[in-house]
Structure 1
Amino acid sequence: MDGVEVRPMHADDLPNAERASAAVFLDSDRRDRRVSDPEPEPRSTDVAERWIARMRYFLEVDPQGCWVAADGAQIVGFAIAQNRDRLWYLATYGVLPSMQGHGIGKRLLDAVLTHADGRQGMFSSSVHPGATRRYRLAGFSLHPQMRMIGTVDHTKLAAVTGLSEGSAEDFDWMNRLDRRLRGAGHGPDHRYLLTGHRLVVSRAEPGYVYLDDRGRPTLLAAAEQRTAQQLLWEALASARADTLVNCITTANEWAIDVGLAAGLHLGQEGYIAVRGMPTPAPYLASGQFL
């Protein structure tokens, strides 16, 4: 649309961009809702504030990867990408439903892909047909990903050993592990994740997992499958009420084995999109930090 400007994001765009994001993903959740799923609810104030804080962080670390589509004062689309070493990742991307089909999404994606400057890439994708078409045309391989949900059967929990609470002192070896698995360290993302998550590590056989405030695994990486399974068992033992294990690819079937043993249910959930790299394993990606 001629009146829509695609431009770099500014800090004062964040509240309007959050409102656009909330509308985009509520519509997506309603469109893709399974019959057995609860009715999607609007984003809470707390979740909105956390979204703004996370996007402000991205804007501070790598502002050239943060773009919006503006129709006057209204933000109608957004694309937030980041470069870390040799890896580019797309943290979030969307266009208001009423503005889709006019090329705005392509313009936003072109802007953030230009920022990639030839780096290998990875992100978590929805099943939106227009978006997945753009991703494939941009050279990304789309690997179906799965999720596991449900209440952990604590009588089935496996005993784990060799795990410790992690700290910033672990970041150096964690970044080396990241480079082995995904071609690039998480760099400053580790420090950001540590501010709001519990970090559990295995130092003897390298591996780590971040757990959110509900005990759910947010990002897991390990040198060996056995270590990855130990870390996931620890996450499931920490889960409160229903839990979620997300971003499971076929290269990470070890996670399915753990989840099924713990009484969780398996379902499909979008794609992991990669370009110039294999899907990492043993690895469970973060939706927004990959």
Structure 2
Amino acid sequence: MDDRRVRQMREEDLPVVERVSERVFLEPGEQGRPLRIIQAWIEWARHLLTVDPAGCWVSVGAGGINGFAFSQNRGGFWYLTTYGVLPEARGTGIGRQLLDAVLAHAGDRPGMFNSTTHPGATRVYRQARFSLLPEMQMVGTVDRSTIPVIKGINDGDENDFDWMNELDTSLRGAGHGPDHTFLLNSQRLVVAGRRGYAYIDHHNRATLLAATDPATAQDLLWEALASSSGDTLVDFITSANDWAIDVGLTARLNLATEGYLAVRGMPAPAPYLPGGRFL
């Protein structure tokens, strides 16, 4: 008897889903997540489950939860933030069932997500009518002699959210809404007047960046790079955002291919660097 099923996620599932996520995404030989990272992951997942529970799903087999998908509707825009199936459950159709569930939640909204290069996954995404746009990342230590003098960048706060949501809407079809509140509680927000913003995490990396024009976007990215020490990372760069490549190469970072930005019903946003967790 086939006892596999897909159901909506519940809050009591979150600790188990975190452990499944760890198994799905950790590289062989890599150590498990430290406690503070586990706690931060569960708080982030709880935020998504609270804001849009109908977008959060798990797959369940004889051994318990073996897959998950977190997606969110924000007005007229949909995003898939993370999705995975345990190795022993792959090839059983569960991954496709999870994707069908979150796509049903999306309805006819335009949307996007960051995709790996896994052949099976990319095949499913194309069958679901997503365009796969190659992404790049830049890694290395910033050559501090290359950092220009940047003016007009200031710390932001919740009073900036209205115009930030308007900018989000112009770039991707809807504001980040409650995601801005969550991000501000854990990351530094910098703004360039009302022309752009960026969140900078505890590693001093830009995790979400949006601007009205490439020059402003470059200033915001330079602000993040100037805050870094040691190795840093700029990722999720599409060809529509080659302004970021110019900054990274000038800073002596190394350019490499990464994965894909999967988009449906919309072009790649620009000037824009999507976050890993809040696209």
Question: TM-score when scaled to structure 1?
Answer: 0.94
Q: Which residue of 2 aligns with 1:189?
A: 179
Find runs of 4+ consecutive structure 1 residues off by over 3 angstroms: none
> Percent identity, aligned pairs only?
57
Measure the CA separation in 1 of the matches of 2:191 and 2:25.
32
1:190 partner SS = helix
Shift of 1:186: 0.5
Q: Which residue of 2 aligns with 1:248?
A: 237
Q: Does 1:224 align with 2:213?
A: yes
Measure the CA separation in 1 of the matches of 2:137 and 2:115.
13
Measure the CA separation in 2 of the matches of 1:41 and 1:145.
27
Kindly report which structure 2 residues correspond to 1:57-68, keeping only aligned pairs within 5 A, or say none.
57-68=47-58
Measure the CA separation in 1 of the matches of 2:183 and 2:229.
20
Shift of 1:47: 1.6
Deviation track 1:223-245 (CA, whole Å, cap 9, x = no partner) reads: 00000000000000011221110
Kindly report which structure 2 residues correspond to 1:136-215, keeping only aligned pairs within 5 A, or say none.
136-203=126-193, 206-215=195-204
Q: Which residue of 1 aligns with 2:253?
A: 264
Kindly report which structure 2 residues correspond to 1:62-81, keeping only aligned pairs within 5 A, or say none.
62-72=52-62, 74-81=64-71
Q: How many residues align?
A: 279
Shift of 1:175: 0.4
Kindly report which structure 2 residues correspond to 1:7-18, keeping only aligned pairs within 5 A, or say none.
7-18=7-18
Identify which of 199, 202, 222 aligns with 1:233: 222
Identify which of 266, 269, 279 aligns with 1:280: 269
Deviation track 1:126-154 (CA, whole Å, cap 9, x = no partner) reads: 11111111111101000010000111111
Kindly report which structure 2 residues correspond to 1:35-114, keeping only aligned pairs within 5 A, or say none.
40-72=30-62, 74-114=64-104
Shift of 1:66: 0.4
Structure 2 gap ranges (5+): none
Contact 1:16 1:74 in 2 (8 A): no
Structure 1 gap ranges (5+): 31-38
2:101 partner SS = helix
Measure the CA separation in 1 of the matches of 2:4 and 2:37.
28
Measure the CA separation in 1 of the matches of 2:227 and 2:189.
12
Over the residues paired in the alignment, what is the CA RMSD in angstroms? Answer: 1.2
Q: Which residue of 2 aligns with 1:33?
A: none
Contact 1:209 1:218 in 2 (8 A): yes
Q: Does 1:133 align with 2:118?
A: no
Measure the CA separation in 1 of the matches of 2:127 and 2:192.
40
Q: Which residue of 2 aligns with 1:21?
A: 21
Question: TM-score when scaled to structure 2?
Answer: 0.97
1:196 partner SS = coil
The residue identity in structure 2 corresponding to 1:18 is: E
Shift of 1:211: 0.1
